[in-house]
Amino acid sequence: MEMSRSSFRLLLLGFLLVSSYAASDSVYDTFVQCLSNHSAPSHQASSIVYAQTNSSFTNVLRSYIRNERFNTSSTPKPLIIVTPSDESQVQAAIICSRDIGILLKIRSGGHDYDGLSYVSDIPFFILDMFNLRSINVNITDETAWVQAGATLGELYYRIWEKSSVHGFPAGVCPTLGVGGHLSGGGYGNMLRKHGLSIDHIVDAQIINVNGSILDRKSMGEDLFWAIRGGGGASFGVILSYKVKLVRVPEIVTVFRVEKTLAQNATDLVYQWQHITDKIDNDLFMRLLLQPIMVKSDNGSAKAQKSSKTVRETFISLFLGDATRLVSVMNKDFPELGLKKEDFMEMSWIESVLYWANFNNGTSVNVLLNRTLESEKYFKAKSDHVQKPISKDGLEGLWKKMIELGKTGWCSIHTEGE
Ligand SMILES: Cc1cc2nc3c(=O)[nH]c(=O)nc-3n(C[C@H](O)[C@H](O)[C@H](O)COP(=O)(O)OP(=O)(O)OC[C@H]3O[C@@H](n4cnc5c(N)ncnc54)[C@H](O)[C@@H]3O)c2cc1C
Ligand SMILES: *[C@@H]1O[C@H](CO)[C@@H](O)[C@H](O)[C@H]1NC(C)=O
Ligand SMILES: *[C@@H]1O[C@H](CO)[C@@H](O)[C@H](O)[C@H]1NC(C)=O
Ligand SMILES: *[C@@H]1O[C@H](CO)[C@@H](O)[C@H](O)[C@H]1NC(C)=O
Ligand SMILES: *[C@@H]1O[C@H](CO)[C@@H](O)[C@H](O)[C@H]1NC(C)=O
Ligand SMILES: *[C@@H]1O[C@H](CO)[C@@H](O)[C@H](O)[C@H]1NC(C)=O
Ligand SMILES: *[C@@H]1O[C@H](CO)[C@@H](O)[C@H](O)[C@H]1NC(C)=O
Ligand SMILES: *[C@@H]1O[C@H](CO)[C@@H](O)[C@H](O)[C@H]1NC(C)=O
Ligand SMILES: *[C@@H]1O[C@H](CO)[C@@H](O)[C@H](O)[C@H]1NC(C)=O
Ligand SMILES: *[C@@H]1O[C@H](CO)[C@@H](O)[C@H](O)[C@H]1NC(C)=O
């Protein structure tokens, strides 16, 4: 009795597996047929569509999974992945998903905190934008057209190729995708001087649900406003943004300084909160808080023991030279006790590499590398503190961090541990 019941279950399971493959196969056939119907005859529709049964499917899917949390066998998989290489293929893919009635997830850099660009609880396709990544920088009018599938690193590189006195204010992790980053806001280390990425978008191209390509003029100011902060995927598929570049000095200055609780870190963090929004706008100071183990040696040989503390890392970009930074720090944050020797002057593009934690001397070409060393398993949230946290509040925070042990955000890029 037990036996036959379980073999019945097995059979049923086998049937479901077969039928889901069959369903995915027929969806694939219908989709490819539809794409062909909507594509120029020269386009081989099947060459941009990956069925689950295709031997490259898993590789293509994983290429832009940037969080191990969504790289498991139980993570829902798309029925197919479409990888268009021109805009007419994006138009066709949108129309065909709409007509077949399957949800389309749009992926650019794949850095979404919750895998929203490649995971869904209901059946879905992925529209993968990685082939659409051209960047046209025009130094004469200080703008660039950037396709959604480009990374921030590629954008910074292309600007650097043409000018040493231009940059763009956006995130510090070079593999972030333009499609998700710019539609969601985009903040980085020039935030205080230049605001968000979206403050510098002057035009865009989006394809709506009916497959029409719209620019700023034809989409209207309301939609243009929405895709600068409202998240792109709610409104259509963003093909590209036109951004206004910003001027950066030939020489910028960076520093990184670490303090533990024993080095008055609580007072410094407390003080930092009161000056960081008022100090010279050329200076951005990020604070990274992490619980760490320290070896304490109290003199006796076998008494070396490890204990936990919290380490504060101040990481900065100053849009000016070291001499001026000395006077800014002496005036508004002398408590940090920094001297000129603590500062390093470099070009803006070198500061991009420094912030992304590449070693001194690393070639700028690394910004074109889309492969990360390793993916991390993480859950992240961003919040904005409205009022300075009291010293008691900070001490409570340290206690919690020490109790929890390893936390550490963007350790992926700024700490590498
Ligand atoms: C390690 C890490 C570091 C980060 N650092 C920063 C930082 O310094 N500053 C900052 O502001 N943010 C930062 N973020 C957040 C990041 O900017 C967002 O997660 C952003 O949405 C990622 O864009 P993406 O294209 O890489 O992601 P994706 O996962 O591809 O997309 C994110 C969202 O946008 C949608 N989308 C993507 N492309 C398009 C398109 N072409 N048209 C319409 N919708 C689209 C997706 O469907 C999804 O909903 C960081 C995130 C991570 C994981
Ligand atoms: C494609 O076009 C052919 C010929 O017009 C039509 O018979 C077929 O139904 C279309 N298929 C899809 C999936 O749109
Ligand atoms: C997998 O899909 C790609 C893209 O459609 C195609 O070029 C390739 O031939 C397929 N490979 C196999 C083994 O079917
Ligand atoms: C996903 O998991 C596989 C198998 O464990 C591993 O080889 C691959 O590197 C992982 N990829 C990502 C993007 O994490
Ligand atoms: C760059 O911008 C200038 C000024 O708007 C324009 O005249 C020129 O044609 C543009 N160059 C390119 C290559 O688009
Ligand atoms: C798409 O087309 C339908 C039918 O013509 C129309 O009713 C709808 O408003 C269009 N949607 C958009 C976003 O343009
Ligand atoms: C810590 O801060 C206090 C008060 O600001 C100061 O008196 C003390 O010298 C500082 N200690 C160190 C180690 O900097
Ligand atoms: C050093 O640590 C050992 C072990 O924890 C302890 O027994 C000893 O009293 C400590 N000595 C001093 C000087 O604090
Ligand atoms: C990088 O290395 C060069 C050569 O070793 C050195 O001159 C320079 O000061 C270093 N720059 C930084 C920021 O460490
Ligand atoms: C890109 O980076 C990865 C991870 O660091 C590395 O393994 C690979 O060799 C790099 N590729 C190139 C072309 O430099």
In a domain, residue 181? The reply is yes
State whether 390 and 267 are in the same domain.
yes
Number of the ligand 7 atom closest to the C-alpha atom of 263:
13
Amino acid at 26: S
Residue showing tokens 């990360």:
372
> By CB neighbour count within 10 A (0-12 exposed, 13-18 middle, 19+ buried), where does 264 fall?
middle
pLDDT band at 413 (very low <50, low <70, confident <90, very high): very low
Q: Of 106, 128, 150, which one is at a domain's C-terminal end?
A: 128
- Give the helix/strand (H/E) hosting 154: helix 152-162
Closest CA to 131 of 118, 148, 144: 148
| Total of domains in the chain | 3
Q: Are residues 124 and 143 in the same domain?
A: no
306 lines ligand 8 (CB under 6 A): no
- Which domain CATH number covers 29? 3.30.43.10
Q: Would you say residue 216 lies in a domain?
A: yes
Same structural domain, 405 and 294:
yes
| Binding-site residues, ligand 7, Cβ < 6 A | 263-264, 267
Ligand approaching nearest to the C-alpha of 235: 1
CA of 400 to the centre of ligand 8 (A): 26
| Domain identity same for 101 and 183 | no
CA distances 354 to 93, 289, 300, Å, are 40, 19, 40
Q: What is the mean pLDDT of residues 57-74?
A: 96
Domain presence at residue 356: yes
Give distance in angstroms: CA of 294 to centre of ligand 7.
21
Nearest-ligand number for the alpha carbon of 344? 9
Asked whether residue 292 falls in the same domain as residue 171, the answer is no
Burial group, residue 120, by CB count within 10 angstroms (0-12, 13-18, 19+): middle
Residue 19, pLDDT > 50, answer no
The residue among 242 and 233 whose pLDDT is bigger is 242
146 strand-pairing partners: 135, 241
Q: Tell me the helices (H) and strands (E) count for the chain, helix number first.
A: 11, 15
**Domain of residue 172, residue span:** 135-247
- The answer to whether residue 241 sits within a structural domain is yes
User: Average pLDDT for residues 7-28, to the nearest whole number?
Assistant: 52
Ligand 1 atom 52, closest CA: 111
Ligand lying nearest the CA atom of residue 366: 10
Of 62, 94, 128, which residue is a domain's last? 128
The verdict on 145 and 259 lying in the same domain is no
Query: What residues contact 170, with CB distance under 8 A and at least 6 apart?
Result: 152, 155, 176, 181, 182, 186, 187, 188, 197
Q: Which whole number is the average pLDDT over 182-202?
A: 97
User: Could you tell me the pLDDT band of residue 13, with boundaries at 50, 70 and 90?
Assistant: very low
299 ligand 8 Cβ < 6 A:
yes
CA 44 vs CA 28, 47, 49, 60, 283: distances in Å: 14, 6, 10, 19, 52
Least confident segment among 36-45, 191-200, 315-324:
36-45
Report the atom number in ligand 7 closest to the C-alpha of 264: 1
Tell me if 44 CB under 6 Å of ligand 5. no
| Number of CB atoms found within 10 A of residue 389's CB | 14
Which amino acid residue places its CA nearest to atom 12 of ligand 3?
54
Inside any domain, residue 1 = no
pLDDT score of 300: 62
Q: How far is the CA of 30 from the centre of ligand 3 (A)?
A: 16
What is the C-alpha separation between 251 and 139, in angstroms, rounded? Answer: 19
318: domain CATH number is: 3.40.462.20
CA–CA separation, 155 and 137 (whole Å)? 9
Contact (CB, 8 A) for 71 and 136 = no
Going from the Cα of 5 to the center of ligand 10, the distance in angstroms, rounded, reads 52
Please provide the average confidence, as pLDDT, over all residues in the chain: 90
CA atoms within 13 A on the CB side of 200: 24
Do 14 and 98 reside in the same domain of the chain? yes
Q: How far apart are CA 390 and CA 392, in angstroms?
A: 5
C-alpha 83 to ligand 6 mean position (Å): 25
Is 120 a residue whose pLDDT tops 90? yes
Q: Ligand 9 within 6 A of 365 CB?
A: no
Instruction: End-to-end CA distance of the chain: give it in Å, rounded.
Output: 55
Angle at CA of residue 148, ends 197 and 77, nearest 5°: 120
Residue located nearest, by CA, to atom 14 of ligand 6: 210
Q: Considering the domain boundaries, does residue 19 fall inside one?
A: yes
In a domain, 327, yes or no: yes
DSSP 312-373: EEEEEEESS-HHHHHHHHHHH-GGG---GGG-EEE-HHHHHHHHTTPPTT--GGGGG----S
Structural domain contains residue 321 = yes
Reduced to 3 states (helix: H, G, I; strand: E, B; else coil), residue 54 is: coil
Residue 7 has pLDDT above 70, yes or no: no
Q: Which ligand is nearest to the CA of 378?
A: 1
Phi then psi dihedrals of residue 201, to 5 deg: -95, 125
Residue 219 and residue 151 share a domain: yes
Ligand number nearest CA of 343 is 9
Instruction: Return the pLDDT at 9.
Output: 40
Ligand 6 nearest-atom number relative to CA 212: 14
Residue 165 Cβ inside 6 Å of ligand 9? The answer reads no
Q: Which atom of ligand 10 is closest in space to residue 365's alpha carbon? A: 14
Cβ neighbourhood burial of 41 (10 Å; 0-12, 13-18, 19+) = exposed
* Distance of alpha carbon 277 from alpha carbon 274, whole angstroms: 7
User: Is the minimum distance from the CB of 11 to ligand 6 under 6 angstroms?
Assistant: no
Co-location of 154 and 276 in the same domain = no
Flag whether pLDDT at 321 surpasses 70.
Answer: yes
Are 390 and 242 within one domain? no
pLDDT above 70 for 417:
no
The span from the CA of 115 to the CA of 381, in Å, is 13
Q: Does residue 260 carry a pLDDT above 70? A: yes
CATH value at residue 151: 3.30.465.10
Atom of ligand 3 nearest to the CA of 49: 5
Kindly report the CA angle at 284 between 283 and 285, in degrees rounded to 5?
115
In this structure, the residue with its CA closest to atom 9 of ligand 10 is 371
Final residue in a domain of this structure, among 224, 247, 270: 247
Q: What is the share, in percent, of the chain residues with pLDDT greater than 70?
A: 89
Residues 241, 256, single domain; the answer is no
Q: Would you say the CB of residue 361 lies under 6 angstroms from ligand 9?
A: yes
Are 178 and 148 within 8 A, CB to CB? yes
* Listed residue (24, 138, 22, 115) closest to 62, CA to CA: 115
Are 347 and 371 found together in one domain?
Answer: yes
CA angle 34, 132, 358 (to 5 degrees): 145
Least trusted range by pLDDT, from 211-220, 281-290, 301-310, 383-392 = 301-310
Tell me which residue of 206, 34, 202 sits closest to 129, measured CA to CA. 206
**pLDDT category, 297, cuts 50, 70, 90?**
low
Q: Which atom of ligand 6 is nearest to the CA of 209?
A: 13
Tokens 């959604």 belong to which residue?
148
